[in-house]
């Protein structure tokens, strides 16, 4: 049974912002980004402990074709995505969300 996955409102906004950024440059890239994020959510929900422990007792899933990571906390059957963060900008800015 897959765990319940929730997305922090600020993480959801980060995904929308990144999608908008890609869309101003290339609509195919924007659609691909959305597909990658949905795939990440699906894989995380199916096997949340598969990815290594990261900062602040979170875990992270690195997207394949985009320089983004999905940072999440896992407790029992609940997963909270705390950030959809660019890998090269403002490292760990999301830490207080993970608390």
Which neighbouring-strand residues pair with 71? 60, 83
The predicted structure's pLDDT at residue 64: 93
The predicted structure's pLDDT at residue 98: 74
Residues of the chain with pLDDT under 50: none
Decide: 25 and 37 in contact? Cβ < 8 Å: no
Q: Which CATH class is domain 4-98?
A: alpha beta
The predicted structure's pLDDT at residue 2: 67
The predicted structure's pLDDT at residue 94: 82
The predicted structure's pLDDT at residue 1: 62
- Strand order, beta sheet including 78-86: 4-7, 78-86, 68-75, 59-62
Domain ranges for the chain: 4-98
Torsion of CA 39, 95, 91, 85, to 10 degrees: 20
Arithmetic mean of pLDDT over the chain: 93
């Amino acid at each position: 049974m897959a765990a319940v996955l929730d997305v922090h409102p600020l993480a959801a906004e980060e995904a929308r912002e990144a999608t908008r950024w890609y869309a101003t440059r290339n609509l195919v890239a924007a659609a691909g980004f959305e597909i990658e994020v949905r795939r990440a959510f699906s894989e995380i929900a199916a096997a949340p402990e598969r990815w290594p422990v990261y900062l602040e007792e979170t875990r992270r899933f690195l997207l394949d074709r985009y320089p983004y990571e999905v940072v999440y906390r896992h407790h029992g059957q609940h997963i909270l995505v705390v950030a959809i963060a660019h890998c090269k900008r403002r490292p760990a800015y999301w830490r207080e969300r993970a608390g």
